[in-house]
Amino acid sequence: MITDPLAPLPPGQDRSVGVTGLVGVDELDFSDELITGEAVVLELRPASFITRALALVADLVLTVTVFLLLYWLLYATSGPVDEAAGSALVLVTVLGVGVGMPILIETLTRGRSLGKWLAGLRVVRDDGGPIRARHALIRGLLAVLEIYWSGGSIALLTSLVNKRGKRLGDLVAGTYVIRERQPRNLPPQVAMPPHLAPWVRNADLGRLPDPLARASRAFLARAQRLAPEARHRLGFSLAAQVGDLVAPPPPPGTHPEDFLAAVLAERRDRDYARLWREMEQRRARSNSRAAASPLSATGFGLPDGD
């Protein structure tokens, strides 16, 4: 048992690979959260089945309306046609409106159809990023099977057994539907312990793995709600893992939670400072190009040379 959270482990043991197998991490429940570069936990709440069903109804109303309008226009402008040509025309219209139109709309809007817009929903990738054309294509093609052909029964069954409410198209495409209209309760920022600021400002924080930063950030945010035994055990375990990546070690007697807070706060501040420097450099280059003569080497005119 590790009594000092920052002491090295015995030979043959490694705790620098992340939080896999760490006792107590499951108590933090990361099921629907993402992590930013500053170890800020963002929660993307999956849409409920009822909300998705209401959005689907709105989309179906739009689809039927567009189909009827196109059918009327084609009938009014094409004149009499034979039965085979009429059947082919209807089939093309159904496929174009029922399959092609939803794929096109989700691609152009990055995951929002009319129904999803009305319901405040959006389709995102499993990592929280916007979907692309291939995601919309997979979802649209499989919708023919699980929504239109089966009357929605396949989509209902797969949604009920998946914790994110995914239908078959989402499982294959690697996407799910989230609620965009929800209270934005951002987690409080990690405060720097004043007595550790002089040490951590000059410390080498190494490359803190995202899973470990995520676990540490979530632990500090929820420490007050954990049972004392779990809080003690998890705090010491996380501090021990982070301690392997930090040099020099903190002052003797540092509390594990203060140590984690100092590391995360300094990591966040360094990231902000780096981003600010990069923004200033881009701005300086942009101003330099704008002020340069069109014929200079730094402008957009002739190259520098004889």
Strands 41-43 and 33-35, sheet pairing: antiparallel
Is 179:118 a contact under the CB 8 Å cutoff?
no
Residue whose token pair is 């929903």: 121
Residue-wise pLDDT tens digits, 124-172: 988 778 899 999 999 999 998 998 888 888 988 998 888 888 999 999 9
Produce one character per residue of 97-133: b if its CB has 16 or more CB atoms within 10 Å, e if not: bbbebbbebbbebebbbbbbbebebbbbeeeeeebee
Total-model pTM = 0.51
Lowest mean pLDDT among 12-26, 72-86, 254-268: 12-26
pLDDT at 15 over 70: no
pLDDT at 81 over 90: no
What is the pLDDT averaged over residues 67-73? 85
Lowest mean pLDDT among 9-23, 95-109, 199-213: 9-23
Residue whose token pair is 């939670």: 257
Report the mean per-residue pLDDT for the chain.
Answer: 78
* Separation of alpha carbons 147 and 144, rounded Å: 6
Tokens of 73: 């226009």
For residue 229, which amino acid is it?
A: E
Q: How confident is the model at residue 282 (pLDDT cuts 50, 70, 90)?
A: confident
Is 32:45 a contact under the CB 8 Å cutoff?
yes
Lowest mean pLDDT among 13-27, 81-95, 146-160: 13-27
Q: Dihedral sign for Cα 200, 206, 212, 218, please.
A: positive
Residue 41: what pLDDT? 45
Q: How confident is the model at residue 10 (pLDDT cuts 50, 70, 90)?
A: very low
Residue 230: what pLDDT? 86
What is the pLDDT averaged over residues 197-218? 84
Q: How far is CA 93 from CA 63, 64, 113, 273, in A?
A: 11, 11, 19, 55
In the chain, where do the E strands start and end?
33-35, 41-43, 121-125, 175-179
Q: How confident is the model at residue 28 (pLDDT cuts 50, 70, 90)?
A: low
Residue 218: what pLDDT? 84
pLDDT at 93 over 90: no
Tokens of 36: 């930013």
Residue 75: what pLDDT? 75
* Separation of alpha carbons 237 and 25, rounded Å: 10
What is the pLDDT averaged over residues 6-21? 42
